[in-house]
Amino acid sequence: MFTKGNQIGKPTRFGPDWPGRRCGAKTRAGTPCKKAAMKGRSRCRNHGGSSTGPRTEAGRARIATAQLKHGRLTKEARAEAKRRAQVGREIRAELRDIEGLALARGWLKPGWRDQFD
C-alpha cells in the first residue's frame, strides 16, 4: 500500500484539480495562497481564517484606526461636506433671488452675463 513513490498528503489532497475553496490571500512572493480555506471561512489558518475578529470596543477602535488610510470618508468628514454643500446651495439661492430683484428693478439688463463670455 505505502510503496516508494506514492504521493500521499497535501499535494494529492489539495492538488491543482481540487474543487474546494482556496485561501487566495497574497503571499510574500505576490502569488495567491494555494492552501485550502478553513471550513466556513475564506482564508486558511495562516492568513487569518482562525481569527474571531475584535471582540471589545477598544479592539474594534484599534482595527478601525489601522484600516484608516485618509480621513476623507469618515463620518465627520462626510457630515462636514454635506454642511458645506448646504451652505453653497443657500448662497446660490440667495444670489438667484438678488439677480431676479436686480433684473426686475432695472439695475441689470437681461442677458447681462453674455458680456463675460
* Residues 44 and 25: beta-carbon distance below 8 Å: yes
- The tally of domains found in the chain comes to 2
Cell reading at 68: 484608516
Range of the domain at 78: 72-109
Determine, yes or no, domain membership for 114.
Answer: no
Instruction: Work out the burial of residue 51: count CB atoms within 10 Å of its CB; fewer than 13 is exposed, 13-18 middle, 19 or more buried.
Output: exposed
Question: Residue 66 falls within a domain, yes or no?
Answer: no
Q: What is the pLDDT along the chain (117 residues), one digit of tens a residue?
A: 556 666 666 556 777 787 889 998 999 999 999 889 999 999 999 999 998 889 999 999 999 889 888 888 889 999 999 999 999 999 999 999 999 999 999 999 999 999 887
Residue 83 within a domain: yes
For residue 65, tell me if it sits in a domain: no
